[in-house]
Amino acid sequence: MSEAAALGLQPLRENGWRAGLSPLMRAGFGAWWRTREWWTQALLWTVVINGSVAVAIWGDAPEGLGVFGLYGVMTMFAAIAVAILMQDEIVGEKRSGTAAWVLSKPASRDAFLLSKLVPNAVGVLATMIAIPSAVLLVQTLLAGVEVSVPRFALGTLVPALNLLFYLTLTLMLGTLFDSAGPVIAIPLAFAFGQQLIAGIPGLASVLPWALVVGTADSDTSVTGAIITGQPLPAPAALLTTSLACAVFVAVAFWRWRRTEL
């Protein structure tokens, strides 16, 4: 009898994509919720998003930008932060050798990638969208701004989708490249480049940018329109962004299964 069996430990017999998922997920969620990561991010984005909105509500609001329009714009900064935060998730582990170490255990490649995708998605959505959005709701109610809570809840899913776009893009790039340069440069170039091409009518309405910021086609973002009950200015952006996220995830899994470590 082995020493472990003598202690009462049972060997795990997980197969297929689930192999190693439990410890990897525990580690992934632990990196957010058992460290100071969650509260520093939550504090930072509450200050950035809700501080700006507070100025709009109780101070001098920017011309032509309502409370919810400003909220959408500020979440764009969070999306850029997601790309910066995620840049090292895969590339860093490839370069340091921790990915090879982890995958020398009976863990599947899919489980490894899921443990990067799911805990980070939950972490960024909770700290950069859910908490600041809850505070925003309280702010608007205190300020007497009329808002439908169900529409507000639905509207917050749109910047969440925008964040997921940058998260999945950065993770995919991490599987494709071996250095951090392109992994951070491409999402940032895309994020800022949209500002330029968002001025082109037609094209603007399919970009993720239209989800949270007004474009040449409409002064109102998709987020602002949903919360305030207006017609959607760029419904195609919801579809293209969702599709892009799905493609990024599929490419990441395809590539990661073939990566040599």
Partner 1 sequence: MDLAVQTRGLSKSYDGVHAVDGIDLEVPRHSVFGFLGPNGAGKTTTMKMLLGLIRPTSGSGSVFGLDIAADSPGVRGRVGYLPQEPRFYPRMTARETLRFAAGFFFSGPAGALEARIEEMLELVGLAGKADRPIKTLSGGETQRLGIAQAQIHQPDLLILDEPAAALDPLGRRDVLAILEQFRATSTVFYSTHILDDVQRVSDIVCILKDGRIISQGPLEQILAGGSESVFVAVVEGDVQRARTTALDQPWVTQVDVDGDGHSARMRITVSDAEVGAARLQRLLLADETLVVTEFTRPSVRLEDVFVDLVEKGADDE
Query: Tokens 């800022």, residue?
Result: 192
- The upper half-sphere exposure of residue 94, i.e. CA atoms within 13 Å in the direction of its Cβ, equals 20
Closest CA to 250 of 93, 103, 91, 110: 110
Q: Does 3 bind partner 1 (CB under 8 A)?
A: yes
Among 19, 57, 78, 113, binds partner 1 (CB under 8 A): 19
Part of the chain binding partner 1 (CB under 8 A), chosen from 15-23, 40-48, 125-133, 187-195: 15-23
For 172, the token pair is 């995919």
Contacts 24+ apart (CB under 8 A), 42-45: 42/126, 42/127, 42/128, 42/131, 42/132, 45/78, 45/81, 45/127, 45/128, 45/131, 45/132
Identity of the residue, 105 or 148, whose beta carbon is nearer to partner 1 in the bound complex:
105
Q: How far is the CB of 180 from partner 1 (least distance, A)?
A: 16
Q: Does 12 bind partner 1 (CB under 8 A)?
A: yes
Q: Does 254 bind partner 1 (CB under 8 A)?
A: no
Q: Does 63 bind partner 1 (CB under 8 A)?
A: no
Among 62, 97, 199, 202, binds partner 1 (CB under 8 A): 97
How far apart (Å, rounded) are the C-alpha atoms in residues 8 and 57? 61
Query: Tokens 């997921």, residue?
Result: 164
Displacement of CA 204 from its chain's centroid (Å): 21
Q: Does 98 bind partner 1 (CB under 8 A)?
A: yes
Part of the chain binding partner 1 (CB under 8 A), chosen from 77-85, 92-100, 114-122, 217-225: 92-100
Q: How far is the CB of 101 from partner 1 (least distance, A)?
A: 5
Part of the chain binding partner 1 (CB under 8 A), chosen from 21-29, 70-78, 82-90, 239-247: 21-29
Q: Does 23 bind partner 1 (CB under 8 A)?
A: yes
Query: Tokens 């509207």, residue?
Result: 155
- The upper half-sphere exposure of residue 148, i.e. CA atoms within 13 Å in the direction of its Cβ, equals 11
Part of the chain binding partner 1 (CB under 8 A), chosen from 94-102, 126-134, 184-192, 227-235: 94-102
Part of the chain binding partner 1 (CB under 8 A), chosen from 27-35, 165-173, 180-188, 196-204: 27-35
100-139 footprint of partner 1 as x/- string (CB under 8 A)? xx-xxxxxx-------------------------------
Binding residue count for partner 1, defined by CB under 8 A:
31
For 259, the token pair is 């990566």
Closest CA to 202 of 157, 240, 246: 240
Part of the chain binding partner 1 (CB under 8 A), chosen from 56-64, 97-105, 169-177, 209-217: 97-105
How far apart (Å, rounded) are the C-alpha atoms in residues 165 and 114? 16
Closest CA to 159 of 61, 43, 74: 74
**Contacting positions for partner 1 (CB under 8 A):** 2-4, 7-12, 15, 19-20, 22-23, 26-27, 31, 35, 96-98, 100-101, 103-108, 260-261
